[in-house]
Structure formats: structure tokens, C-alpha cells
Amino acid sequence: MAAVPAGAAVRPFAIAWAVFWLLLLTVEVQDHLRHGEGRLWQPFLWELSSFAVASVIVWLLWRHVPRLDPLLGQPWRWAARPLALLPLAAPLFVGGVYAIRHGVHALAGLTYRHPPWPQVLLYECVKFSLFYGLFVAMFFGFRSFAALHAERLRAEAHLALAREAQLAQLAQQLEPHFLFNALNTIASAIPDQPALAEHLLLRLAALLRAATDLARRPQVTLEEELALLHAYAEIMGQRFADRVTWAWQVDESLRAQRVPALMLQPLLENAFRHGVERQAGPARIEIEVARRDAGTLRARVACSLGALSATPEPHAGVGLVNVRSRLALLYGERAALALEARPGGGVSAVIHWPAEAAAQVQGAQAQRAGGAQCAQGTQGAQGAQGAQGAQGAQGGPDAPGAQGGPDTPGAVARPPAPVTTSP
């Protein structure tokens, strides 16, 4: 078992120690009064002298036992070390206590009378040994509890780091996946629409940059996720502009809520791959984010084309498996992704996950605002340098991309507001 800091469990033990001696003092005073003996200060002297000497011994023992933490997994070996000190500690306790009592009585001009020394030594050493064994067992209990608590904290910290690393790895898996599909879309436009292909390639560069930034964080705000989704929708929508209509329904009050990075993009990608690309005819893609209830949010990406398979596929796509894995890591059973038949035909991918409390949302907003302020200067400088380089390479400000317009890589940072359309 791992060692714990020497100061661990000091406070609870000190409280237990004080309560123990307070009880002993109370019993001794009551016994003294019951027998009608005079000099009420004497029971205080007896117990306080024992308390003082015992506290010194316990303090020394407490400083010694942390060295035995590696033996906490072997109780008998651990207990053997402090018990080996008992033959030394018992005579020291008896001698120290009686020295204090004799000294106080002598200062008061009295004689402290007690049984013969052999009887005193036997009685007091036996009594001390019982209490010594009791407190050695208490020491073992406190140190074991502290060690288990420290081990649990370390395990939780390691688990959190491992979870963050796994989330980052899962998010980064999506980058080459959707990059491959987007490049296929662009490649298909090159022979017949080279200008469109060039435009989409610039948008893809900006999208990839934004996706790389988001993939480094396990969670992002819904606003950031939607910005990425708009950029991806533009790339895919350009290829099928004559067939695809869009319907965006987003609860504006939820934009500060945090969601897993790249949560919605794989759903939209699946809508194109399994719906729009495989079937001819017009398609309607619906994207909706709303509250499911007071503590749950719901996102839906639906396509009017396609159908659910009668039997589940043995291997789901990379995107859906990835999203499910990250939802499970972040929220456990409180989140889920399901594929459903869309009313009127088609397929809907529906995610629900826990909503954040208002205080968490405000903290996320403040953090995002601070990050935006810090990034403005850098983005402005990079934009100016990029514009200068483009002008020099293309022959002037009229060259494509030189004005930093919507076709430049940095243009996906804030897409236009969504507009609900009908087919």
C-alpha cells in the first residue's frame, strides 16, 4: 500500500484523543465526588498528569508510524514495530506521571501517598499496556484509511488523465475520417467544376484548422460545434446544392452549453454518405438542438433519404462508434445516441446528454470571452501577414483570397446565422 503524508489524519486523531481524555477526566471526577473525598483538584491532577505524559509518548509514536506505511498491507508486521517499544514506553509513562504528581504535592506542602512501588509499577504498566495496544490499533486504522484515501485520489487523477487522453484520441480519429470523405467530395467536382473544387478546398483547409483546434479539447461550447457544422455543411451542400435543402432549429439559449467536440459533424456526414449520396432525388436535412427536459439536452440530425436496416449492422461506422464512446466516457448512462426512423421517410440520429447548470454555463462563457480577447491580437497579426503574402504571390489585392473574404482559411470562425428553409 502506498505511503501517505505524515500529517494525514492528524486532526481526526487529535479530536478523538481529546474526547477520550475528557471522558476519563469526567469519570474520575464523578468517582471522586461519589466517595465524598476532599481536594477536588486531585482527580484533575491525576488525569492531567497522565494526559501530559501519554500525549508526549503518543506524539513520538505518531511521528514514528509513518515510516511503517509500506507495511500497512501486512498488519502483524506493522503492529510488531510499535509494540516492540512497549517495554520502554510503559516505565517511562509511569515514572513521568508519578514524578509530576509528587512534584505538585510537594509544591502544595503535601505528601502524595500511593501503594508500594512494585504494586504501582505492575498495575500502571498493565493499564498502560492495554491503552497502548488500543491506540496502536487506532493508529493503524487512521493510517490505513489515510493511505486508502490517498490511493483513491491518485487513482481518480490517473483515471481522469487517461479519460482525457482517450477522449482526445477519439476526437482526433475523426479528423482523417471526415477529411477523407470531404476530399472525395472535392475530387468529384474537379473535372466538371474546377472553380467550385478550388473554393471547397479553401473551405476544407479552414475547416480542418478549426477541427484540429476543437479536437484538442474534450468538450467545446455548442456555438463552436455549430460553427464547425456550418462549415462542413457548406462544403457538402455545395456539391448537392440543387438537391439539398436545410432546416436549422437551434435553441439560442443553449449556445453556451458544452458538448463533446465533433459530436454533430459525424451525424451530418452519415446523412450525406448513407442518404444523399446513395439515393437520387431531393433531400431535406434537418438539424435541431433543444431541451429535452429540465436536465437533458437533445440534438437531432435527420435526412429525408435513406432507411434503417432491418437487421443491425455488425460493424457500425467509425463516426457513430466514436461519438458513442465519447458520450459514454463523459456522461456514462446519462447520454445516448440512437438511430430512428424519420416520420415521412428517412433516418434521424438523435443524441441526448445532461445539461449543465447555470453556474457552469456562466463560467464557460467567461472563460471563452477571456480566450477570445487573448486571441484577437494574434489572429489580427496572422491575418495581416497572410494577406500580405497572398498579395505578393498573386500579383496584387485583386488576386483570389487576397482580401481575406469568406474563401480564406480563417473564415469559418463565425458562420452566418442559420436560416430555416423548406424544400
142-173 pLDDT per residue, tens: 888 888 888 887 777 766 656 665 555 555 55
Interval 42-58 mean pLDDT: 89
For position 336, what pLDDT does the model report? 92
Please indicate whether residue 375 or residue 110 has the higher confidence score (pLDDT): 110
Please indicate whether residue 408 or residue 36 has the higher confidence score (pLDDT): 36
Where does the pLDDT of residue 414 fall: very low under 50, low under 70, confident under 90, or very high at 90 and above?
very low
Q: Are 296 and 254 in contact (CB under 8 A)?
A: no
Q: Are 217 and 261 in contact (CB under 8 A)?
A: yes
The residue whose grid cell reads 424544400 is 423
**Segment 268-278, tens digit of pLDDT:** 888 888 888 88
Does residue 401 surpass a pLDDT of 50? no
Does residue 400 surpass a pLDDT of 70? no
For position 396, what pLDDT does the model report? 39
Q: Are 249 and 285 in contact (CB under 8 A)?
A: no
Where does the pLDDT of residue 406 fall: very low under 50, low under 70, confident under 90, or very high at 90 and above?
very low
Where does the pLDDT of residue 378 fall: very low under 50, low under 70, confident under 90, or very high at 90 and above?
very low
Please indicate whether residue 81 or residue 204 has the higher confidence score (pLDDT): 81
Does residue 84 surpass a pLDDT of 80? yes
- Helices (DSSP H) in 68-221: which residue ranges? 75-83, 86-107, 117-189, 194-215
Residue 314's alpha-carbon distances to 149, 308, 309, in angstroms, are 43, 14, 11
For position 351, what pLDDT does the model report? 95
Mean pLDDT (the chain) is: 76
Q: Is the pTM of this model over 0.75?
A: no
Q: Which of these ranges, 98-107, 128-137, 214-223, 337-346, has the smallest mean pLDDT?
A: 214-223
For position 338, what pLDDT does the model report? 92
Q: Are 301 and 285 in contact (CB under 8 A)?
A: yes
Q: How far is it, in rounded angstroms, from Cα 268 to Cα 325?
A: 18
Please indicate whether residue 82 or residue 215 has the higher confidence score (pLDDT): 82
Where does the pLDDT of residue 95 fall: very low under 50, low under 70, confident under 90, or very high at 90 and above?
very high
For position 167, what pLDDT does the model report? 55
For position 364, what pLDDT does the model report? 53
For position 309, what pLDDT does the model report? 74
Interval 340-360 mean pLDDT: 85
Interval 233-259 mean pLDDT: 87
Does residue 410 surpass a pLDDT of 70? no
Does residue 397 surpass a pLDDT of 50? no
For position 367, what pLDDT does the model report? 55
For position 170, what pLDDT does the model report? 53
Percentage above 90 pLDDT, the chain:
20
Please indicate whether residue 388 or residue 361 has the higher confidence score (pLDDT): 361
For position 103, what pLDDT does the model report? 92
For position 394, what pLDDT does the model report? 40
Q: Considering only CA atoms, which of 178, 196, 177 is closest in space to residue 187?
A: 196
Interval 393-416 mean pLDDT: 38
Q: Which of these ranges, 59-73, 283-297, 318-332, 379-393, has the smallest mean pLDDT?
A: 379-393
**Segment 286-323, tens digit of pLDDT:** 999 999 887 899 999 999 988 887 655 544 566 788 88
Does residue 99 surpass a pLDDT of 90? yes
Does residue 390 surpass a pLDDT of 60? no
Does residue 176 surpass a pLDDT of 60? no
Q: How far is it, in rounded angstroms, from Cα 392 to Cα 7?
A: 66
Would you state the cell numbers that stand for residue 361, as one nine-digit string? 454555463
Radius of gyration of the chain (CA): 37
How crowded is residue 220: how many other Cβ atoms within 10 Å of its Cβ? 24
Q: Considering only CA atoms, which of 162, 94, 86, 166 is closest in space to residue 129?
A: 86
